[in-house]
Amino acid sequence: MHRLRVNLELTSLLLDGEDKKSKSKRGVLPKHATNIMRSWLFQHLVHPYPTEDEKRQIAGQTNLTLLQVNNW
């Protein structure tokens, strides 16, 4: 019984560590970049899907990668 409790505690600790690792990988975009993207979004509320050209323009304005713009 004691061995089972120890295994459960170790498993719990390992899972807690995984949660913290996955949360720490999330990046926070610069405020300036999110302001630009949010502004674009509010100007296009009817159809909030940027074209590939618009995504490239936003990436250039914000100094973000195209992937970061796509993921936002």
Q: Residue 16 falls within a domain, yes or no?
A: no
Q: What is the pTM of this model?
A: 0.64
* Distance set, CA 1 to CA 14, 16, 27, 61, 66 (Å): 20, 23, 42, 61, 54
Q: How many other C-beta atoms can be found within 10 angstroms of the C-beta atom of residue 32?
A: 11
Q: Residue 40 falls within a domain, yes or no?
A: yes
Q: Residue 22 falls within a domain, yes or no?
A: no
Q: Residue 21 falls within a domain, yes or no?
A: no
Residue 6 has pLDDT above 70, yes or no: no
Q: What is the pLDDT of residues 54-67, one digit of tens each?
A: 999 999 999 999 99
Residue in the block written with tokens 């100094």: 63
As for how many domains the chain has, the answer is 1
Residue 17 has pLDDT above 60, yes or no: no
| Higher per-residue pLDDT: 8 or 51 | 51
Containing structural domain, residue 56: 31-71
Q: Residue 18 falls within a domain, yes or no?
A: no
Q: Residue 55 falls within a domain, yes or no?
A: yes
CATH number of the CATH domain containing 55: 1.10.10.60
| Higher per-residue pLDDT: 44 or 10 | 44
